[in-house]
Structure 1
Amino acid sequence: MQVILVKPVRKLGKVGNTVTVADGFGRNYLIPQEFAIRATKENIAKFSSLQKDMEAKNAENKVDAEKVVAAIKSKHITFITQSAADGRLFGSVSAKAIAAELSKLANVPLNYTNVLLDTPIKFNGIFDVQVILHPEVITTILVVVAKTDTEAQDALREYKEGGKKDAQQKEDELSAMEAENSKQKEVTEEEDAN
C-alpha cells in the first residue's frame, strides 16, 4: 500500500514523502492515527496544495520540541523504590512512570510512547533513557532508581564524577566471566569422559 505521510514518522519518512508500507500497518495504524493518507490521484493533488502548510506546522512542532529539550537538558528523574539487597526492585519503573515524571518536569503532556524503553527498569542504578519529543528531536535523560534519597544523590554524584564504568570495562568483565565458565565446563566434561 502506498501512503503519503502527513506527519513525520520515525524510520519511515518526513512530511510529504510517499512510502510503501504493509497493508495492515497503513490501514490499521498510519491512516487511523492520521500519520498518513492513501496515495490516490485525488489525495496527491489535494496534498500538494496543503503541503506547504503541513511542512510549516511540522517545523513549528519541531521548534516546540526543541524548547522542551532545552528545558529538560542536564536534568534527571529520581525514583525511590523498595528493592532487595542485591538491587532488584520489588516491581519496576515503566515507560509510563517515566513519562509522567517527565511531564511534570517539562510542563508538557507526554505519554509512554515518547519514552524509548525496551523493557521496564528492574534494578537500582542510573540509566540513560531516550525521549522522543518529535520524530526529528530525540534526547536522553538520566533516570536514577534507588532505595533512598541519600543513595540516589550518592549514585548521581559518583556518576557525574566519572565513577561509572565505561562500556569497554563492562564488556571485558563479561568476557572474562564467560571464559572462566567455559574453562569450568571443559574441566567438567573431561572429568565426565574419564
Structure 2
Amino acid sequence: MNVILQKDVVKVGREGEVVLVSDGYARNYLIPRGLAVSASGGALKILEARHATEERKSEALLAQAQKDQATLEGKTIKILGKAGAGDRLYGSITSGDIAEALKKDLGVSVDKRRVLLMDVIRALGTFHVDVKLHKDITVPVTVAVEKA
C-alpha cells in the first residue's frame, strides 16, 4: 500500500515522502497513529500543492539572500567599544552585536545565529567574520572595532 508520511518514521522514510509499505503495517500502525495517510488522489494533490508552496518560499528566500549578499559584499561595519590599556575591551563584541550593527548600518536583518563568529571579540582592530545568509550563500564581512 502506498502511503504519504506525515512525520519521519525510522527505517521507513521522511515526512512528505510517498512510500510503499505492507497493508497491515499501514492499517494497523502508521495510519491509526497519525504517522501516514493513504496515498489517494486528493492526498497526492495536497502533497503536490505543499511541495509547490515550499519551493516558491525557498526561491523567495534565495532571491532575498542574493540581494543581501550584494549589499554586504566588501562592506566594513564599525562597532564602538569601551577599551582600557593595551587595546583590550572592557566587555566583548558578540555575534548579536554584529547582527545589530548590520541592521542599523546597512539595513540587512540577520539572525545572530547566522553570524559565524568563532569566539567573541575582546580587542580593538579589524576582524573578518562570515555571515551565512542562506544554506548556499556565505558572505565575508569586515568588522572594525574602535575605541568609544
TM-score, structure 1 length as denominator? 0.51
Displacement after TM superposition at 1:120 (Å): 1.4
SS of equivalent to 1:57: helix
1:73 alignment partner AA: E
Identity of aligned residues (%): 26
Matched with 2:103 is: 103
1:65 matches 2:60: no
Q: Give the SS at the match of 2:139.
A: strand
Matched residue count: 116
Tell me, in whole angstroms, the C-alpha distance in 2 between the residues paired with 1:43 and 1:67. Answer: 42
| Cα deviation, residue 134, structure 1 | 1.8
Deviation at 1:76, TM superposition (A): 0.8
Following TM superposition, by how much is the alpha carbon of 1:69 offset from its aligned partner in structure 2, in angstroms? 1.1
Amino acid at match of 2:117: L
One-letter amino acid matched to 1:125: G
**1:4/1:130 Cα in 2 relative to 1: closer, same or farther (>3 Å)?**
farther
Q: CA deviation at 1:65?
A: 0.9
Q: Which residue of 2 aligns with 1:138?
A: 138
Q: Partner amino acid for 2:106?
A: A
- In the aligned structure 1, how far is the partner of 2:47 from the partner of 2:143? 41
In structure 2, the partner of 1:129 is 129
- Give unpaired runs (5+ residues) of structure 1: 6-15, 17-39, 149-194
Q: Is the 8 A contact 1:72 1:105 kept in 2?
A: no
Instruction: Describe how 1:1-194 pairs up with structure 2 within 5 A.
Output: 2=9, 3-4=14-15, 40-42=35-37, 46-147=46-147
Q: TM-score, normalised by structure 2?
A: 0.65
Distance 1:4 1:102, change over 3 A: farther
In 1: Cα distance, 2:53 partner to 2:106 partner? 28
SS of alignment partner, residue 86 of structure 1: helix
Q: Deviations over 1:48-103 (max 9, x none)?
A: 44212211220111011110110121111111222233222100011111101111
- The structure with the greater share of residues assigned to helix is 1
Counterpart Cα distance in 2 of 1:43 and 1:140: 47
Counterpart-to-counterpart distance in 1, 2:37 and 2:115: 36
**Comparing both chains, which one has the higher relative contact order based on Cα–Cα distances under 8 Å and sequence gaps of 6 or more?**
2
Q: Give me the whole-angstrom Cα distance separating, in 2, the residues matched to 1:131 and 1:69.
A: 9
Q: Do the aligned partners of 2:77 and 2:102 also contact (CA within 8 Å) in 1?
A: yes
Q: 1:110 deviation in Å?
A: 2.5
| 1:134/1:147 CA distance change after superposition, 3 Å | same
Distance 1:89 1:97 in 2: 14
Q: Secondary structure at the match of 1:118?
A: coil
Task: Name the SS for the 2:122 alignment partner.
Answer: strand
The verdict on how the C-alpha distance between 1:103 and 1:84 changes in structure 2, with shifts beyond 3 A counting, is same
